[in-house]
Amino acid sequence: MSTATVTSKGQITIPASVRASMKLEAGSRVEFVEIENGQFFIAPAINSVQLLKGVLQKPKTPISIEQMNLAISKKGSGK
């Protein structure tokens, strides 16, 4: 496991082994994708979004179209 320290400016240095594994070079961009509350997946920004397949889990219980429409209407009305 690799670790990094956050500086007072909010910056970190990604460890060399992690950069090599992710094929990151100077100037590379990374994306931070929240997978759970407070937990993030870090991915090179140049890769396809398909690499994120499986990162998010399906809901435990399915939601009906009616429930979706109700949630959308409530959000739209500001309730």
Rounded (10°) CA dihedral 35, 40, 44, 48: 0
Please report the pLDDT score of residue 15 as a whole number. 94
pLDDT band per the 50, 70, 90 thresholds, residue 19: very high
pLDDT band per the 50, 70, 90 thresholds, residue 12: very high
DSSP 27: T
DSSP 9: T
Question: 67 near 53, Cβ under 8 Å?
Answer: no
The closest of 17, 16, 48, 18 to 31, measured between CA atoms, is: 48
| Amino acid, single-letter form, for residue 21 | S
Name the residue ranges covered by the structural domains of the chain: 16-77
pLDDT band per the 50, 70, 90 thresholds, residue 27: confident
Write out pLDDT tens, residues 60-72: 888 899 999 999 9
